[in-house]
């Protein structure tokens, strides 16, 4: 029988009362960046296919990819690529049984976030 004195409390931790942890945020962000990479890959594929289709098709695709919006999408795709790569390396470390304690896992999470930003900026400056 259900407790009638439980009040308006939720049955389990809910997003409105749960304090997100770095590991949960980086995990969600890894999934988001993976899907973002699909979008960037599709845009690049469109650009290559348009180049093979002729000058008119290429001019359209090139105009989109070299616009401010295309530059933004490509820059964010670059960041997503670095972030996704670094979190993949973090998972390889975890697969060896290392870095699973909370302090080390948090350091690895911050290393993925900070490292992806630094590597994105360095790559953008080199390109």
Binding residues for heme: 84
70 contacts 64 by C-beta, under 8 angstroms: yes
Q: Are 78 and 123 in contact (CB under 8 A)?
A: yes
Q: What is the DSSP string of 111-122?
A: HHHHHHHHHHHH
Annotated binding site, which residues?
84
26 Cβ contact list (under 8 Å, min separation 6):
87, 109, 112, 113
- The beta-strand segments (E) located in the chain are none
């Amino acid at each position: 029988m259900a407790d009638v004195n439980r009040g308006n409390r939720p049955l389990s931790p809910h997003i409105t009362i749960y304090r997100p942890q770095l590991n949960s945020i980086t995990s969600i962000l890894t999934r988001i960046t993976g899907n973002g990479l699909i979008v960037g890959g599709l845009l690049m594929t469109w650009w290559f296919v348009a180049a093979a289709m002729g000058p008119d098709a290429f001019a359209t695709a090139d105009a989109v990819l070299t616009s401010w919006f295309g530059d933004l999408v490509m820059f964010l795709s670059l960041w997503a690529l670095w972030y996704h790569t670094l979190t993949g390396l973090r998972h390889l470390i975890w697969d060896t049984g290392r870095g699973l304690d909370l302090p080390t896992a948090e350091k690895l999470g911050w290393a993925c976030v900070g490292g992806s930003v630094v590597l994105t900026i360095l790559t953008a400056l080199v390109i």
